[in-house]
Each structure stands twice: as structure tokens, then as C-alpha cells.
């Protein structure tokens, strides 16, 4: 039996993609450390069987023409890590609208490392202040919340397109709501809670373990009535990952969940500061570098603070290389 573990080896990539099915099914290609773990190998094969009916959608996502969407960030919070994203007045909302993002993602609870949890009532009140303005505009809206009570309350009153759950739809009630309202679901990987997530950065094989998490979530969501095309994968850059792990995940955006659509959020995050030495207010250049790389590698959605700068850089780069 042959084993490959180098993420830069093209043969290793087959482990994570549907065109590697025959190799995996015959156990010709699996991570070295799984050689004695038949349970994990069986889990991979089982997921191939489960995803088989959705192959057409998955193959379309992998090989079809993909246009990267830009998601602009608005934080209706007083403590989000980048002050420039905080909605201190209505002017910030109108500024975002002028930048014409494809989607606006609104958060009512800071999830930066060490942040405190916000009660649902406070979160709803914060989000309603932004939604009451946005409802008059033709713009796709995403709500960034891990609390089903928040999503449930807002869906009854507002036209929301995406549910962005950093806890990865662990709560079955969140899955039920998403299925009932037929909303697009952004499933993020994170270990622990924002308050303690930096304690959980020890992985044997980060790609395998994140994919195992996604497979479990995807299976539960599809079995609960959520359409595969409404599922978007977010590896959770900066959430329970250290600097080296973040870089590895950014370098290999094709390594996740068998062709389901992907979202990356790298904007102004700490790993950029570690590379450049810049504080959060001076990390736009580093953000743009990651955005160009990810867009050229067919990531479907980029979640950013600076919409027009990222979009312009991506468009110009594409023009220069095509």
C-alpha cells in the first residue's frame, strides 16, 4: 500500500477530491498516520458513498466557471477587532453600500479571541438597527450569528440570504431553521468557543480533521433537508489555528469538502501582522495579497473589510494574467 502525506504533492490532493474516489476506495492513497486506523479510512469511504448522489453538483463546483464574490463586513458591535468595521453611525452602513459588495455580512457579537458572549436579545437589537436600513436596498444579506434564537427572530422580520454560523451548525435547531427557510448556510470550522479557542490548536492532520468535521456537518444538514448547493464551507482562518496552520490552510484552498463552495475570511487578521509587523490598521496590503491568491484558486466568497480595494486588486490581477 502506498501512502502520501505531503500537502504540496498533487497525489495528496486526490485524497480530498472526488476524483480520488477509486484510489481511496481501494486504499491506495490515504494519509500515512491513518494506516492502522481502519475506522478513519472507513469514514472517508462512507462519505464518498453518501456524496455520490450529489456528484453532478460537486463536479460543477470543482470544474465549472466560478466567479469570486466579495462579502463586506459590518459589525454592529463595540468591540470587534478592527475598529473600521464597527457601525458607530448610519454613515458606515451607507459607505458599505456605496462600495457595492455582492453580500453584506452583519455581526452583532464579536468573536475575536477572548471575546465575551453576548445575550441573544442584545444581539438582535444590534442587528435590527442595521437591517432596518438595509431592507430598503437590493443587496444580499448574511447574518453572522451562532445563536438560533437570533436567526429565528430575524428571519421572521427580514429578508436574509445567508446564515453565517461560526460554530458550524452544531446546534440542530439552527439546521432546522435553515432548512425550513431554505437559506444558504456558511459552515465554519472552529474548536471550542471564541473565549478559549486558542487552546485547541493541536492537530495530527489539520486537513483530515477539518474535513472530517465538515463531512459530519454536511451529512447532518443534507439529511435535514438543506440542499447541497446551499452549503458553503469556511475553514475558519484564525479560529483555533496557529500562525503556521493558517498559512497552510490559505495555501491549499482546494483541500476541503469535495467541491462544496468555499468562503475565506483573512481580512486584517493576526497572521498578516506576524508576517508584516503591521497592526490591524495597516494590514490591507496583506489582505489583498491573500484575496488575489484565493480568488485565483477559485474560492467562491471572500469576506473582507475593504470591499472596493480587494475587488479592484482582484480584477486588475485577473486582467493581467488572462
CA–CA dist 96, 308 (Å, integer): 9
Phi and psi for 143 in degrees, rounded to 5?
A: -110, 125
Residue 34 lies in a domain: no
Residue 287 lies in a domain: yes
Residue 89 lies in a domain: yes
Coil/strand/helix, residue 144: strand
What does the buried/exposed string (b/e) look like for 43-64 if buried means 16 or more CB atoms within 10 Å of the residue's CB? bbeebbeebeebeebbeebbee
Structural domain range at position 87 = 66-321
Active-site position among 183, 283, 303, 311: 303
Whichever domain contains 195, its CATH number is 3.20.20.20
Number of domains composing the chain: 1
Which residues pair with residue 233 across a beta bridge? Answer: 187, 262
Residue 111 lies in a domain: yes
Phi and psi for 112 in degrees, rounded to 5?
A: -65, 160
Active-site position among 69, 269, 283, 311: 269
Coil/strand/helix, residue 219: helix
152-188 pLDDT, tens per residue? 999 999 999 999 999 999 999 999 999 999 999 999 9
Q: What is the pLDDT of residue 11?
A: 40
- Asked whether residue 211 carries a pLDDT value surpassing 90, the answer given is no
CA–CA dist 112, 80 (Å, integer): 7
CA–CA dist 219, 210 (Å, integer): 14
Residue 251 lies in a domain: yes
- Asked whether residue 90 carries a pLDDT value surpassing 60, the answer given is yes
- Tell me the pLDDT band of 35, cut-offs 50, 70 and 90: very low
Residue 59 lies in a domain: no
CA–CA dist 146, 169 (Å, integer): 8
Q: What is the pLDDT of residue 105?
A: 97
C-alpha cell read off for 198: 486558542
Q: Which of 311, 306, 234, 257 is CA-nearest to residue 67?
A: 311
Active-site residue, 268 included: no
Name the packing angle between helices 307-321 and 284-296 (round to 10°): 50
Phi and psi for 103 in degrees, rounded to 5?
A: -145, 145
C-alpha cell read off for 4: 502520501
Tell me which DSSP letter residue 17 carries: S
Residue 97 lies in a domain: yes
Residue 121 lies in a domain: yes
Active-site residue, 303 included: yes
Amino acid at each position: 500500500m502506498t501512502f502520501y502525506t505531503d500537502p504540496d504533492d498533487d497525489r495528496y490532493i486526490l485524497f480530498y477530491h472526488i476524483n480520488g474516489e477509486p484510489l481511496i476506495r481501494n486504499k491506495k492513497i490515504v494519509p500515512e498516520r491513518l494506516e492502522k486506523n481502519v475506522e478513519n479510512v472507513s469514514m472517508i469511504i462512507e462519505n464518498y458513498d453518501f456524496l455520490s448522489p450529489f456528484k453532478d453538483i460537486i463536479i460543477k463546483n470543482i470544474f465549472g466557471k466560478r466567479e469570486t464574490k466579495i462579502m463586506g463586513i459590518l459589525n454592529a458591535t463595540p468591540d470587534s477587532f478592527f475598529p473600521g468595521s464597527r457601525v458607530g453611525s448610519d454613515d458606515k452602513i451607507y459607505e458599505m453600500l456605496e462600495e457595492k459588495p455582492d453580500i453584506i455580512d452583519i455581526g452583532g457579537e464579536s468573536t475575536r479571541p477572548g471575546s465575551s458572549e453576548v445575550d441573544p436579545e442584545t444581539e438582535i437589537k444590534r442587528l435590527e438597527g442595521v437591517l432596518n436600513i438595509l431592507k430598503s436596498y437590493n443587496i444580499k444579506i448574511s447574518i453572522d450569528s451562532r445563536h438560533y434564537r437570533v436567526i429565528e427572530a430575524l428571519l421572521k422580520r427580514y429578508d436574509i440570504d445567508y446564515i453565517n454560523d461560526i460554530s458550524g451548525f452544531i446546534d440542530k435547531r439552527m439546521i432546522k431553521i435553515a432548512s425550513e427557510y431554505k437559506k444558504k448556510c456558511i459552515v465554519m470550522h472552529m474548536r471550542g468557543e471564541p473565549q478559549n479557542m486558542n487552546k485547541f490548536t493541536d492537530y495530527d492532520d489539520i486537513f483530515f480533521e477539518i474535513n472530517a468535521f465538515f463531512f459530519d456537518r454536511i451529512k447532518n444538514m443534507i439529511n435535514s433537508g438543506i440542499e447541497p448547493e446551499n452549503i458553503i464551507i469556511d475553514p475558519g482562518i484564525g479560529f483555533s489555528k496557529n500562525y503556521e496552520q493558517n498559512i497552510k490552510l490559505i495555501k491549499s484552498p482546494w483541500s476541503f469538502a469535495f467541491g462544496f463552495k468555499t468562503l475565506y475570511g483573512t481580512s486584517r487578521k493576526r497572521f498578516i501582522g506576524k508576517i508584516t509587523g503591521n497592526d490591524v490598521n495597516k494590514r490591507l496590503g496583506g489582505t489583498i495579497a491573500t484575496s488575489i491568491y484565493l480568488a485565483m484558486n477559485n474560492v467562491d466568497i471572500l469576506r473582507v473589510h475593504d470591499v472596493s480595494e480587494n475587488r479592484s486588486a482582484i480584477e486588475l490581477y485577473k486582467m493581467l494574467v488572462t
